[in-house]
Chains A and B, each alone.
Chain A
Amino acid sequence: MHVSRRNLLKGLTLGSGAMLLPPMAQRILANTEGKTSAPRFVFVVQSNGFDAVQACPESIPFQKYEDRDKFEAFDLAEHKLPKGLAPLEELKSKTTILQGLSGRCTGGGHSTWGGCLGMYRISGANHSPQNVTIDYQLGQAQPGILPWVGVGMASGAQDALMNISARAAHKSMPIILKPEKAYNAFFSVAAGGDREKNFHLKRNLLDYMVGDVKKTRTALGSLAGEELDAYLSAYDQLAARQYKLLANKETLKKAAPKLDDRFTSEVATQRLEAQFELATSSLIGGLSNVATITSAATEINAQPYLGIGVDLSNHAYGHMGGNKRDAKGVQHYEKVRNWLFGLIAKMAKQLEETPEGNGNMLDNTVIVYMSDAPDTHHSTGFEWPLVLVGNLKGKMKLGGQYVNFPGYGKAGHRTVGCLYNSFLRSVGTKQETFGRIDPDLDLQAMQTGPLAELMA
């Protein structure tokens, strides 16, 4: 579905003065007049590792990270993208492949859980977040109607995935795994019929619950403790969200994706297609400036890609190709990644087709593809290949490059935390370091500040 921001605004301004527009619409209006809007970010997190070899175009000689001594940038226009990334071929000028950034502070393993977005190591006892994650922090810096939207796919029937994104230490934000539930959560306010009625029933109930829990909290005094505070804060958040959505009903009505069978499909890959559409609508409609989309994140002993004909478990082909770099499993990695990059490319094109300011939305949006396991199936974090699609014009210079950073510990080496520092700069947050520090790397030279090579 293609929503033009101009059309959207036409609809919005009919019969109402600009003063009455919701803040988001005013911001969009400003954007059409040539002003810059808040940078947008999409984090696509897939499980099972992303081997550096598989991120390297065939025509560029692959170097192991131990052998990479200097910073190098190659023009992608002169090279064909690797098989897994083929759907980005048309968007090559907007694509940046980053090699050599490390994330040892996450510990690696089958999955770092929220470590990939938070740059911390999760504990052995549980997967609870240790700090705010980059996606949520970026969202909070310049929020849309909501600071952040998290949707994804799991092979099973669970409703949500926790401990990937977090608003603070031990405060995980849910990635909604069912497209229909995500639709109800974000768009039912404008859906009409029973969905809309249920939205209002829930709003009334949540209001009541906030009052009821507060009363219990007061009655219990010191006995209530953290548990009841958490309960109250959860209802407070939900109730507040309902009102934010209600206040932006008209905007959401126009932005809402069209519901179809994929939103309730039993085929996991179809559900993820629906989630990509929902996330795209959320960005274009201004629901949020940051979205996190997970594809079977953290799942190892599962077969999430049956829908596209990969009938092996992640574990099975991980051991055939993600670990020892033999050819047997690589084809499965490529097939899965090819499909996922197809969805990323579709999203990027929709953003590209939506005008904004003097350009289009992709000029001011970065889609970051990464795995929650840094490099291979049994990952170590010595390197963390990343694919970026889009740009943040005026703030960063991205697109059309294959970039090699010097290997772990070598002069000029940088961490994924530095990339996150760069993103934070672009939303006006000057933070020197991000996440946990790697004690084996020089703090000042390798872990502090943004990636100068990528800044505008």
Chain B
Amino acid sequence: MMILRNCLLSIAFVTGTGAFADDPFKKSIQPFLKTYCVSCHGEETQKGKIRLDHLSSSMADRKEAELWARSLEAIEFGEMPSDKADKFPTKAEARLVQDWIAQSLTQAGLKVEDKADKEGYGNLIPHDLLFSPTESKRVVDAAARLWRISPKALANTVRGARMVSNPFALDKPHGNFRDFKGKYSFNSLMAEQVTELALVHSEKEAKNARKTIVMMKEKGSTIDEANREAIKRHCHNVLRRTPTGEEMDVMMGLLKKVDSELGVPFGLQAVYASIILRPETLFRFEGTEDADDDGLVALTRRELANSLSFALTDLPPDSNMLRAFENNESSPREILLAETRRLLDDEKRPTARNRLLQFFQEYFDYLKAEDVFKDQIKGHKHWAPALVYDLNALVMHVLKNDKQVLKTLLTTPEYLIYVNSHRDHGNPLAYNLPPDWKPTPKPFKFPEDQRMGVLTHPAWLVAHSGNFDNDPILRGHWIKYKLLGGNVPDIPITVDAKLPEDENMTLRERMHVTRAEECYKCHSKMNPLGLPFERYDHFGRFRFLELDKPVDVTSKIVNSGVPEVDGEIRTPFELIERLANSTHCEQVFVRYVFRFFMGRNETLGDAKSLQEAHKAYVDNDGSMESLVLSLLSSDSFLYRAKPVSLAKVSP
């Protein structure tokens, strides 16, 4: 019953019913059900009280429609067939059934919720299609959008204003990226905080401007001329452009109104604040030009300069970049490549290189190690910031070599530990090193059966652990999403997602509760991937024993969606090597880089950009810089789809 009720949440009933041809149902759908579903959900067995063998192709019956919707979700999220099944459908077979169900539900007047463009659901776009040569002929189909500037960019805009809490603050990623399309809607609190910041900043600026205004007046300018000049300067500083005549008149109107009501220099302060609060300052605009013959909207050169600058830094485009984009002799793509290179190679101001580090922090999601509260225990001192520091150093080290970046990060036995000094915090203990271990600026090489890359680094292990235990589910979830490109359904509301507390049982033993039938259909997608990491305790220390018993780190991966990863697993290192050697996993990584830099999920219209980016990565020996260069000069970066219809404009 629970499953049926849950499915009600994912479809919204509209009106009417429709008829559709029976042919595809008989030809493909019924055979699919018979082959993959009916053995568990048929006349003889009805697991989860679900029976699918007598389903008809009509969606007129509400209960049947609910069951179809539930089946669609189960196939889409890879929940079914369960890993205990004998046979698994190919992706093409599964997709055919998914499309048929979705289409039939729609034809019957039932609305199927599409989550593919929502944060955290990017993997719903079929991977094999995104990397199929036939799909690379598609054109970009993502529409233009507004994108709020980052918290740091806001801080840069109101530099000097006291900012206790940044209204644009971004959440810690928790599995996804911090800055993402539609993640943060603008609300009245933000409006109030930004307004106050703008007022504080402009108070100081307006007072400074008064001195210039007085000087200009002394030299014979009228008060209006002097005020206009002061406004013009502020526009140059904040908007990096000259205001139009009409804009200037409106701002002068505000200045005079406020001055007459509250006195000088409140008028100038109000105008200065209003410039900071313009949508143009706080949002990244794009796609304001008309569509071309192919129905694509090319970003203007100014928009490209903005987009590129905000993709790689937290500053609006600098003068060099603005000048570069004004050069009509070079194509926008050439300028994008040259400017991306310039920013990435800038050693004096490594802001763009830091953006690459930020990507890995959010992709591997290890910053949250600092949020996992742990009690101090005897013989160990846990200090998460030191672990995070070390992993940052490792990532930067790998980025510097820029060769086989993903593979190296997943498999390197060489760690940078204690690079600066965390001596007081007993950091070596987390790596099973003696407390008096001497720090070295060189990478430290672990034996191959002890540590291997980021997934066995204490920072990642702690970030994917609980307060008192490891969290194999979270670790498996990470691998499922970030390397295998898979999906796991959301937790149903009635699930009491907690393990029993028993000090005499190992974590693996306590996890037996997740093997209950209704749990394991989802947990089978995560637990086997996370359990090999039981080789480490929840502080990230290597171990052979748990509760005086040898730790079981074996596992069996079934139907992961990536055949080269499936099979028996004896050690975490075996699993890591399979993942690191998989082209599929490498492509999934490229998808995540895409999402980070574009701030949105990929669509099938991005197939060409993704394939080119992956090729650039492979052709250049796994170079992150080549991958980013390719993405930031791709069609997906340069073009937007034509808007479908005009939105209602309030008067």
Contacts and interface: CB of A to CB of B under 8 A. Distances in A.
Interface of A: 104-105, 107-108, 121, 123-126, 157-160, 162, 170-174, 185, 197-198, 200-202, 204-206, 208-209, 212-214, 216-218, 220-228, 230-232, 234-235, 237-238, 300-301, 313, 315, 378, 380, 436, 438-440
B373 A223 contact: no
Contact of A225 (B193, B198, B647): B647
Range class of the B interface residue count: 35 or more
Contacts of A439: 1-2, 5-6, 493-494
Given A159-B165, A197-B262, A201-B270, A212 B146 contact: no
B371 to A, nearest CB: 7
B477 to A, nearest CB: 10
B472 interface: no
A436 to B, nearest CB: 7
Given A159-B165, A174-B189, A238-B188, A227 B145 contact: yes
B119 to A, nearest CB: 6
Nearest to A110: B467
A217 B650 contact: yes
Most buried by B among A126, A170, A197, A301: A126
Interface in B247-280: 250, 254, 257-258, 261-262, 266, 269-270, 273-274, 277-280
23 contacts: A104-B494, A124-B174, A125-B174, A125-B175, A159-B193, A174-B189, A201-B199, A204-B270, A212-B278, A214-B650, A214-B651, A217-B649, A221-B643, A223-B146, A223-B285, A231-B279, A234-B186, A301-B371, A301-B373, A315-B373, A436-B493, A439-B1, A439-B2
Nearest to A123: B490
Nearest to B146: A227
A124 B474 CA distance: 12
Given A125-B176, A160-B165, A225-B647, 16 more contacts: A104-B494, A157-B165, A159-B165, A205-B198, A205-B199, A205-B270, A208-B270, A212-B277, A214-B651, A223-B643, A227-B283, A228-B146, A230-B186, A231-B186, A231-B282, A234-B186
Nearest to A184: B196
B192 interface: yes
Contacts of B185: 170-171, 226-227, 230
A224 B277 CA distance: 16
Contact of B191 (A123, A172, A212, A235): A235
Given A126-B171, A208-B254, A221 B647 contact: yes
A436 B492 CA distance: 13
Main DSSP-derived SS at the B contact region: loop
A227 B148 contact: yes
A439 B2 CA distance: 7
A158 B190 CA distance: 13
Nearest to A198: B199
Contacts of A201: 199, 258, 262, 266, 269-270
B188 A204 contact: no
Given A201-B269, A223-B287, A125 B119 contact: yes
Given A174-B187, A202-B195, A315-B373, A221 B5 contact: no
Nearest to A205: B270
B547 interface: no
Interface in B565-620: none
B491 interface: yes
A222 B262 contact: no
Interface of B: 1-2, 5-6, 119-120, 144-148, 164-165, 167, 171, 174-176, 182-183, 185-193, 195, 198-199, 250, 254, 257-258, 261-262, 266, 269-270, 273-274, 277-280, 282-283, 285, 287-288, 371, 373, 467, 490-491, 493-494, 496, 498, 643-647, 649-651
A276 B570 CA distance: 60
A202 to B, nearest CB: 6
Contacts, number: 169
Main DSSP-derived SS at the A contact region: helix
Contacts of A228: 146, 279, 283
Contacts of A107: 491, 493
Given A217-B649, A439-B1, A227 B643 contact: no
Given A158-B164, A238-B191, A238-B195, A221 B183 contact: no
Most buried by A among B176, B257, B261, B493: B493
Contacts of B147: 227
Contact of B262 (A108, A200, A223, A440): A200
B507 to A, nearest CB: 17
Given A159-B165, A208-B270, A225 B145 contact: yes
Nearest to B286: A223
Given A126-B171, A234-B191, A121 B493 contact: yes
Contacts of A238: 188, 191-192, 195
Q: State the 9 A-B residue pairs at the shortest beta-carbon distance, nearest first.
A: A174-B189, A234-B191, A227-B146, A222-B643, A158-B165, A230-B186, A222-B647, A231-B186, A234-B188
Contacts of A217: 649-650
A200 B144 CA distance: 37
B305 to A, nearest CB: 18
Nearest to B2: A439
Nearest to B121: A125
A388 to B, nearest CB: 27
A347 to B, nearest CB: 25
A51 B490 CA distance: 28
Contacts of A315: 373, 467
Contacts of A224: 146, 647
